[in-house]
Amino acid sequence: MSRYIEIGLSPSGRTKRWQVCTLADDYLGNIHWFARWRCYSFFPEAGSVFEKTCLREIADFCEAETAKKKRQIKVTT
């Protein structure tokens, strides 16, 4: 559980997409697969401001989801 943000799965097509919001329900951006970097990445809303704890939580989430996806790809190939 985060002290500042919530990351919730957002309805999307084939790839997973998450919305990142503050606990007060302000939209901060979304996370989805970025093919050129072959990982999940954060796409912030213009004008959003972050401090180190939020950034670490978002980065940890992206890293964990990327690892899950890469394990899935390995299993299916």
**Does 67 score more than 70 pLDDT?**
yes
Between CA 77 and CA 71 the distance in angstroms is: 10
Residue 31: which of 3, 69, 1 has the closest Cα? 69
* Whole-number pLDDT of residue 1: 67
pTM score of the predicted model: 0.88
* Whole-number pLDDT of residue 28: 96
Each domain of the chain, given as residue ranges in start order, spans 5-76
**Does 41 score more than 90 pLDDT?**
yes
Q: State percent of the chain over pLDDT 90.
A: 75
